[in-house]
Amino acid sequence: MIPSLTTAWEKEFFGPVVGPALAGDGTLYLVDSLNRLQRLSPQGDPLWTRELRAQAVALAVNPERDEAAVLLKPGRLVCFAADGSFAWTTEVAGEPASLEPRPDGRAWLFASHSGLCREYLADGAAGASYHFQFNLLAACYLGEDSLAAVSATGRLVLLHRQSSRFQVFPLNRYVAGISSDRQGTLLALPVYKEGILLVRPQEKRMDTCDLDRNVLLAALSEDGEFLLAGAGDGALVLVQGGGNVVFSRRLDQAVSGLSLGPGLSRAAAATAEGRVYVLESAAERGDRYAFLDNRSPEAASAAELAARWTLQLFASERRPGPRRLWLPAGGKFLLALDECQVLQVIETAGRVMLKRDFLGDRLQVVLNPSGQVALAGDEYQLVAISLRNRSLIPLPSPAQTFSASDQGGLVLLGRDTADLELYLLGNPPALIWKSRAPAPILDLCLAPSGERWFGLFQDGWLRSLDLDQKQLWAQPVFAVPPIGPSSRPPETAATYRLHPWGQNLLLVSERAVTAYGPDGNQLWCIRSGEGVDGAEPFGSGVLIRERGNGFQLVGPEGGVRFSERPRAGKAFFYLDRQSHPALILAEGTSLTCRVAGQAAWRYEAPALVEDVAAGPEGVAVIAGEELIWLDLTGVVAKISRFDYLDL
């Protein structure tokens, strides 16, 4: 199960803290800037405070007894019971580096920068010691029988405690720390400016999780299925085992401390200036999707109560509301994207079905022609959303461009290195083949039938190929400047876009929209003096969006059926149930609809209208923090709300 995390509480401690460290009962330990050990309740209230006589270096919690141990400068280990009473203290040799509890709670592992590792039993008695011939950054248990230690320069040592057998791995990287799962099957090592190195000792395998950020800290869940990472830019990221980002949040400063609770029920993070955040699983708080009617039936007519719902998307000030809407064909689901990159799938009845958090800056959302599959991807992850099955399917790796077919359940991924991958959608998706394209790819799309695909390449050619990579036709689109064989043309994937149009193909550039037939023959080309913002199939024709809020509807033969350029506001088009083109003009808080040139209805939104998506089943409107559903007569009725879980 993929966790959904929400903020339990956050607090400012006015100075850097050591920790935090979560206990099994949801309480939190930390040492504040005044060298005070504090234990806070699951709600963030102080339970007790103990004064320490020296500066703290590290803090750890016994997972079985909820005891807290603090490593102090210049060399002392102090342990406190769960009720705050003093338990024991002992001197340690060498400059303190790290402190780690054993998974069974029977011992603590102390590491010094001079290379000494020593166990201290639960009663404070000194246990076995190990000395490495290099400076240590940190050490941790590798299950109950082994331990792992690492230097700042990336020398990793795995040691079996009973036999004293060890293995040394020179990683040749600047490592920031080390973390292990409970069974010792996985190690996570944050590497400066390179992501996170994942080491599987039993399989003798190493992988890299590249988050494109300077990761400073990493903490593995007990089962190793999830990894919480903290970065220097304040990004807090939860990654699933396959490398998929399932949660992200930007804190106000660099992350300085991390802790994961048992069973991933809670997570805690601290920033460099002393702000502490505690997140909890949605299951811990119960179902927060409470749809409440905030208007009495007496206050609305029966006609109003039949056709509208309003979704309170964001209750937190940090979540200002969605910024994009898609209404796929069929009209049963909406896709809503907020400016914090959370993509939600919402039934037109008002229920949130799926949601996904994206971290990157280049998020793309692509729907197949029938609107049954949506692909969403950024620099870090790519997922397929099956609206028919109401399921979310992670795809193995991000891609520069991607497309899904209507028939056959196929997904084609392309990269600018000319690598291609074709998958059959399933859970998990099945790889059909990997191949190399004739040239690096600018954009691609699958035909709705899934029998062939189209690609625009950096060599300036538009090609149609079957799934065996046999070229069916090719047309030149632009000339590559003769600078050199390795030069990249000025056109980019943002300059040209491909869209399937039945058996035909649309090529959208900055100044024109060109239609190609099944055999590669050019059907028509519509040029725009203002510039083209986009184009999409619209009934039997094509709707061209021009810069400056202009629209043109082009028929199958290439003739312009009508054009519209409103003087003010934003214009949106859709087809009604009789396939008549309808225009919705949004000006401030007002929506005005015209069907076949005649005024149809007018609606006054409660806040500034930001986006509109419409289809034969109704109209979705973003107004401030609300998402409003109207029927095709503009009728609004029942208002439903829910508390948005602050991802």
SS (H, E, C) 279-296: EEEHHHHCCCCCCEECCC
> 167-181, 333-347, 425-439, 630-644: which range is least confident on average?
630-644
Select from 256, 285, 314 the last residue of a domain.
285
The Cα–Cα gap between 219 and 445 comes to 39
Find the mean pLDDT for residues 543-553: 85
Q: Do 235 and 328 sit in the same domain of this protein?
A: no
Select from 285, 311, 338 the last residue of a domain.
285
pLDDT of residue 3: 55
DSSP string, 326-371: E--TTSSEEEEEETT-EEEEEETTS-EEEEEE---S--EEEE-TTS
Model confidence at 514: pLDDT above 90: yes
Model confidence at 145: pLDDT above 50: yes
Q: Do 39 and 173 sit in the same domain of this protein?
A: yes
Helix (H) or strand (E) holding 167: strand 166-170
Q: For 577-618, write each residue's pLDDT tens digit.
A: 777 788 888 888 999 998 877 888 899 988 888 889 888 778
Structure tokens at 439: 């040239």
Strands of the 46-51 sheet, one edge to the other: 18-22, 28-31, 36-40, 46-51
Q: Do 245 and 268 sit in the same domain of this protein?
A: yes
- Mean pLDDT of the residues in the chain: 81
Model confidence at 466: pLDDT above 50: yes
The answer to the question of residue 517 being in a domain is no
The answer to the question of residue 519 being in a domain is no
The answer to the question of residue 50 being in a domain is yes
Round to the nearest angstrom and report the end-to-end CA distance of the chain. 16
Q: For 559-574, write each residue's pLDDT tens digit.
A: 988 787 877 778 888 8
- Residues 334, 620 contacting (CB under 8 angstroms): yes
- Helix, strand, coil percentages (3-state) for the chain, rounded to 5, are 0, 50, 45
Q: Do 347 and 366 sit in the same domain of this protein?
A: no
The answer to the question of residue 491 being in a domain is yes
Select from 502, 525, 555 the last residue of a domain.
502
pLDDT of residue 71: 92
The answer to the question of residue 581 being in a domain is yes
Q: Which residue has the higher pLDDT, 179 or 168?
A: 179
- 302 Cβ neighbours under 8 A, 6+ residues apart: none
Q: Do 296 and 272 sit in the same domain of this protein?
A: no
The Cα–Cα gap between 267 and 285 comes to 14
Model confidence at 456: pLDDT above 90: yes
The Cα–Cα gap between 292 and 638 comes to 10
- Residues 406, 448 contacting (CB under 8 angstroms): yes
Could you tell me whether strands 76-80 and 550-554 are parallel, antiparallel, or unpaired per DSSP bridges?
Answer: unpaired
Measured in whole angstroms, how far is the alpha carbon of residue 27 from the centre of its chain?
28
Q: Which of 197, 139, 195 is nearest to 166 (CA)?
A: 139
Give percent of the chain above pLDDT 70: 87
Counting every residue, how long is the chain?
A: 647
Q: Do 310 and 337 sit in the same domain of this protein?
A: yes
Q: For 284-330, write each residue's pLDDT tens digit.
A: 433 322 222 222 333 333 223 223 344 433 322 333 444 788 888 77
Q: Do 254 and 310 sit in the same domain of this protein?
A: no
- Domain containing 399 equals 358-502
The answer to the question of residue 612 being in a domain is yes
Q: Do 379 and 481 sit in the same domain of this protein?
A: yes
The Cα–Cα gap between 609 and 484 comes to 49
The Cα–Cα gap between 634 and 556 comes to 30
Q: Do 59 and 191 sit in the same domain of this protein?
A: yes
The Cα–Cα gap between 595 and 575 comes to 9
Q: Residue 417 maps to which CATH number?
A: 2.130.10.10
Model confidence at 473: pLDDT above 90: yes
- 497 Cβ neighbours under 8 A, 6+ residues apart: 443, 507, 508, 534
Q: Do 199 and 311 sit in the same domain of this protein?
A: no
3-state SS, one letter per residue, for 502-567: CCEEEEECCCEEEEECCCCCEEEEEECCCCEEEEEEECCEEEEEECCCEEEEECCCCCEEEEECCC
pLDDT of residue 513: 95
Model confidence at 413: pLDDT above 90: yes
Q: How many domains does the chain have?
A: 3
Structure tokens at 226: 């999830």
Q: Do 177 and 242 sit in the same domain of this protein?
A: yes
Model confidence at 504: pLDDT above 60: yes
The answer to the question of residue 456 being in a domain is yes
The answer to the question of residue 548 being in a domain is no
Find the mean pLDDT for residues 84-98: 89
Compute and round to an integer the Cα radius of gyration of the chain.
29
DSSP state of 617: T
Q: Do 74 and 164 sit in the same domain of this protein?
A: yes
